[in-house]
Structure formats: C-alpha cells, structure tokens
C-alpha cells in the first residue's frame, strides 16, 4: 500500500461509496501499518491502523495526492442566515459525487435546481448547522456563501437606434409625402363633405386623402378598422425602409420572438362601435357583424401589425390620451435597452374623425374653425390661435439595438436616446398653466438620454394651437432651456392633431429633421404670440444648429399625460 491508493476500509464503506485516498503510510510493526486517509474530493485527514490480515477494498486506480485538497468545513453555529444565502454540500468521500447547492428562501433551504425539491418544505437552519458540525466526520465538505450586498448601480443598457420610418398622414401616404409637405409648408386639412357631418358647428379635419383599404388586400382590409389599416401601411413602409424583406420576419430571416410592436391609440377607430350601434337599431342583433368587437378595441392596430409581419415577441398598446404615440415609442426603447426584444415597430395610429367626436370637441370649444382654402385653420403659437383641428393617421419607427443594426449593415437615422414621462395632476382636460409637469418630462428625457440641456438643438413641439396649451408648453420650454434660442417647430398646422398617432408621426418628422439637418417651418403662425417667447421656425426651413446633438419631440394629453422623446444625432 502506497500513497495515492484509493481504498474503502471495509466492505460496508465500499457498499456505501465511502472511499479514501492514502496520503501517508507509517509501519508500526510487522503486523500493523498506520495510514493517513483523505476523502478523494477533498476534506480533512484521519488515521487508521490496518492489520496485515485486515481486508480492505482497493480501487483499480491511483490518485495524485497533491491534487486532493485538504479542507475543513467551518462551524455555522454563530452564523446569521438570510434569504438569498447559498449552501454548497459535497459528499467528498464519493469520487462520483456532484456538489448540491441550496438557496435559502422564505426561511428554509431549497435545492437550487429546476428539478422538484424532494425535501418538501425545505431544510431548516438547524439542520444546516448540524450538517456543518458533522461534515468533517462524515466526509462531507460544506460551504456557506452569504448573499452578496452590493451598492446600487445602473443596469447595463443597450443603445437603441432608428433604422426605419413609415407614415400615413393628411399630407399623403408615405414619409416622402410627409417630409416634402412639411418643407413646402403645405397642409392637409379639408372640409368634411359626408352627410353624417351635416349640422356640426365645425366641419374641417386633417384627413388622409386616400382610402387605406384600397392599398391593402381586400380580404385583409375587411378585418381591420381604419386606424389598423393606417398602422399596417405605415409599418410595412418602415419595415422595408429599415432594409428588411417584404412580408415580415420569416422572409427577412429574423427571429419573430425577438421582434415586438408598441403602438399608441386613444380609441383606435371610433366609427366601428358607432356603426355597430346603428346597425343594431336598424336591423336588430343579426345586423351586427361578429367583427365589431375585435375591430373596436384600441389594440387592433398593434394586433394587425403583428399579424401582417408575423411578429410574435409582443404586441403592446399604450393609451395615454394624446401622449400615447410618444409613450409607446419610449416603452419600446426600454424593451430593447434591457434585452426583451432586439427590434420593435413603435408609434401610433388613430382614426377618430367621426360626428360624435367632432361634436364633443366642439362642445368643449376646443376646435378651430375657418376655411382650409385660405390657409391652415390650425395656428400653433400664433397670437390669433383659437383651437386645434381633429386629425387621423399613423406614424411608425423601426427601433433596434445598435449591435443588431450594425451586424446586418443597416442604415441608422439616429439614436433613440431617451424619454421622459410625468403627470400634471391638475385637471381632467386643461393643462397646468405653470407648465411644471411638462418641464419635469423634458428634464427626465434629457437625463435619460445621458445628455445635458445645452445639448438640445431643436424641439418638435406638441403645440395644438389651443390658447392655454401652447402657453403652458412655451413656459415649460423657456424654463427648462433658459434664454438660449433653440429653434422650435409645430406640425399641427400641417396635419391637424392626430390624437394618439400624433407622437408617432411627429417622431418620424423629428428623425428626418436630424437626418437631413433641416427644421420644417410652423404653418399657420403668421404672428407669434408675444407671451410664447420662443424661437418659432416660420416661413422657410431652417438649418439645424450644429452645436449640440439632441432633438426633443413633445406630446401632451388630456388629463395631464406628458411624454417627451429624446433623439440623438449619430456621426
């Protein structure tokens, strides 16, 4: 017998897989040899005197004594256990044993494994202390690992970029029509000629000039409400603009589980429910289509985009009044930042130019009147502004983690750098005149983007052309940005107020502003209200300032919802 031999001192030990490595031998007499034994996977030594005629079981292998660690299991009698602590137990006498790890949860120790824990309610603290006390004698190694206490630190976040754009607006179908119309100072506000609008005090709106159903397969269009049709058309354009193949994720070789949809909507398409109610009164229950309910819910746009492009990662809908589209983009930014998805189509879609909605807004005295033929009736920041113009449409961005976009060689428009939310907690419809809630969202967006207020080179304002709303936003912007003359533009003179889609469409315009280095003019503002005190871009497009890299896109809604998106120029 020599050091390195692996043996079981008795047949019982062999049957129970209790083996030891001989680390040292010392003859005591011709009949007795004293051996020092250590568990083969590490532990403490003990000695045994073996007689010449004593039977032992020797394994058919020899071990390197220097490779067998000499370790002892510390006593845990005075240790204070906490949930989250880990305990590692290794039956070191069995060469084939695997370490078992226990985690303390709810005051008991459970096996850290996906397999069911056959110990029922878990192991008690007293039992764990007994294991540690008997470990050396039993040939077991027990290690206690306290739950680490770490200082709070920011989680690692991925950079998010914009790679695709799509839009359906009162200026036409496509981002090309939108951008050209913005630069040329055109508007898409029209008279509502349908009989159903007869008798309304205001009969103008920003309506999409083509029937979206005619641009989609007939069978598919019949199952979508008008807002969903806008959303699908904008999403298809954005998907193709990002360099992906027509058809969706499968045709593009993209894992559909790593792609998401995040769209904002207030009502989606209010006409479906109104039409269903009319048919119920005229024809009875059998006259109501079974598609009425699925085509009424605000989430239909997100659902239809996911169906059309075969996106299975997630399909989210955000409803926060007129801030819905911007908040939906912000939420998509976070879903990509923290690894939930790699790609997202985000924005907003809305189709609420209906008699009841128009009548309601008119009753609130919130709508502007006037003849669209003589110029835009929507006059953001103007001294003669008198209300907003209701509108419809959709705007969609393709967002990706930067590494995902770079890996496939995608064209990057800009970085979706951050976003901010706040609530006025002031009134069910009117904005807080102090602008404090808006200012909070502005500061949060810049902070989330890792920037400074001096980095802001342009603001795409919400500016609905209501007297109090524009003034509150202007007060907030001046308070946050200080006395710097940051160029500000407002697009609702071109488009009207697209409600839940406004944030999506205006984000598309803000991305294009960064990409082309041009700020579109504000239409309808012949003379800026002296109380506004902002550098409002009017007349002609203006070059984007070079000293800075952040553009802010604002959206604020009834009830005090405030959302701001921060976009950063990329080299």
Q: What are the residue numbers of the active site?
A: 322, 462, 497
State whether the Cα torsion 212-213-215-220 is positive or negative.
Answer: positive
Instruction: Find, among 48, 50, 95, 47, the residue nearest to 68 by Cα.
Output: 95
Is 526 buried (19+), middle (13-18) or exposed (0-12) by CB count in 10 A? exposed
Whole-number Å distance between alpha carbons of 75 and 72: 9
Instruction: Find, among 320, 420, 376, 318, the residue nearest to 187 by Cα.
Output: 376
Enter the tokens of residue 25: 């031998």
Give the angle subtended at the CA of 540 by the CAs of 538 and 543, to the nearest 5°: 100
Residue with token string 């027509």: 246
Whole-number Å distance between alpha carbons of 540 and 283: 54
Helices (H), strands (E): how many in the chain? 15, 25
Q: Phi-psi category of 350—alpha, beta or left, where left has phi over 0 and alpha has psi -120 to 50?
A: beta
Whole-number Å distance between alpha carbons of 388 and 322: 12
Whole-number Å distance between alpha carbons of 232 and 132: 64
Give the angle subtended at the CA of 373 by the CAs of 372 and 377, to the nearest 5°: 25
DSSP 402-430: HHHHHHTT----EEEEEEEEEE--S-SSS
CA separation, residue 270 to residues 172, 228, 283, 366, 545 (Å): 22, 12, 20, 19, 41
Residue with token string 């305990």: 87
Beta bridge partners of 557: 561
Residue pair 221/213 in contact by the 8 Å Cβ criterion: yes
Give the angle subtended at the CA of 363 by the CAs of 357 and 365, to the nearest 5°: 110
Instruction: Find, among 467, 468, 479, 458, the residue nearest to 536 by Cα.
Output: 458
């Amino acid at each position: 017998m020599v050091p390195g031999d692996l043996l079981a001192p008795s047949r019982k030990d062999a049957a129970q897989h209790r083996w030891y490595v001989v680390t040292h031998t010392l003859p005591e007499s011709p009949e007795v040899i004293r051996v020092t034994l250590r568990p083969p996977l590490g532990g403490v030594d003990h000695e045994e005197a073996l007689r010449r005629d004593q039977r032992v079981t020797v394994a058919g292998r020899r071990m390197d004594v220097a490779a067998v660690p000499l370790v002892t299991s510390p006593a845990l009698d005075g240790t204070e256990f906490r949930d989250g602590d880990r305990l590692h137990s290794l039956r070191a006498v069995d060469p084939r044993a695997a370490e078992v790890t226990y985690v303390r949860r709810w005051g008991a120790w459970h096996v850290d494994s996906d397999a069911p824990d056959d110990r029922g309610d878990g192991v008690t603290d007293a039992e764990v202390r007994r294991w540690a006390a008997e470990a050396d004698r039993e040939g077991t190694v027990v290690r206690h690992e306290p739950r680490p206490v770490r200082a709070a630190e920011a989680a690692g976040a991925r950079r998010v970029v914009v790679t695709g754009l799509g839009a359906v607006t009162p200026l036409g179908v496509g981002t090309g029509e939108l951008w050209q119309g913005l630069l040329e100072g055109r508007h898409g506000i029209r008279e509502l000629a349908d009989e159903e609008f007869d008798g309304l005090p205001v009969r103008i709106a920003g309506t999409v000039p083509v029937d979206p159903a005619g641009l989609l397969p007939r069978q598919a269009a019949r199952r979508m409400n008008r807002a969903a049709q806008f959303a699908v058309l904008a999403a298809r354009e954005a998907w193709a603009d990002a360099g992906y193949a027509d058809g969706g994720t499968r045709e593009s070789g993209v894992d559909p589980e790593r792609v998401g949809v995040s769209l904002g909507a207030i009502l989606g398409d209010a006409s479906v429910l109104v039409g269903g109610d009319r048919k119920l009164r005229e024809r009875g229950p059998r006259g109501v289509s079974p598609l009425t309910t699925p085509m009424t819910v605000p989430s239909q746009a997100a659902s239809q985009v996911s169906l059309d492009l075969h996106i299975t990662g997630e399909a989210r809908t955000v409803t926060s009044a007129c801030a819905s589209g911007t908040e939906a983009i912000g939420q998509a930014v976070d879903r990509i930042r923290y690894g939930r998805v790699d790609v997202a189509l985000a924005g907003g879609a809305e189709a609420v130019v209906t008699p009841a909605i128009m009548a309601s807004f008119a009753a609130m005295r919130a709508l502007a009147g006037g003849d669209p033929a003589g110029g835009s009736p929507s006059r953001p920041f103007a001294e003669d502004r008198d209300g907003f113009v209701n509108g419809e449409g959709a705007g969609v961005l393709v967002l990706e983690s930067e590494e995902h976009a770079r890996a496939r060689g995608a064209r990057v428009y800009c970085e979706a750098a951050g976003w901010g939310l706040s609530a006025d907690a002031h009134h069910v419809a009117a904005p807080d005149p102090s602008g404090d809630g808006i200012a909070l969202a502005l500061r949060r967006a810049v902070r989330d983007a890792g920037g400074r207020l001096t980095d802001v080179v342009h603001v795409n304002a919400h500016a609905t052309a209501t007297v109090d709303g524009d003034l509150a936003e202007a007060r907030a912007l001046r308070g946050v940005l200080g006395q710097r003359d940051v160029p500000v533009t407002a697009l609702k003179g071109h488009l009207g107020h697209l409600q839940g889609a406004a944030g999506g469409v205006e984000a598309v315009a803000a991305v294009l502003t960064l990409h082309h280095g041009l700020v579109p003019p504000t239409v309808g503002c012949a003379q800026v209200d002296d109380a506004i005190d902002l550098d409002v871009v009017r007349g002609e497009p203006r070059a984007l300032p070079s000293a800075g890299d952040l553009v802010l896109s604002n959206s604020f809604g009834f009830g005090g919802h405030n959302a701001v998106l921060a976009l950063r120029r990329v080299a």
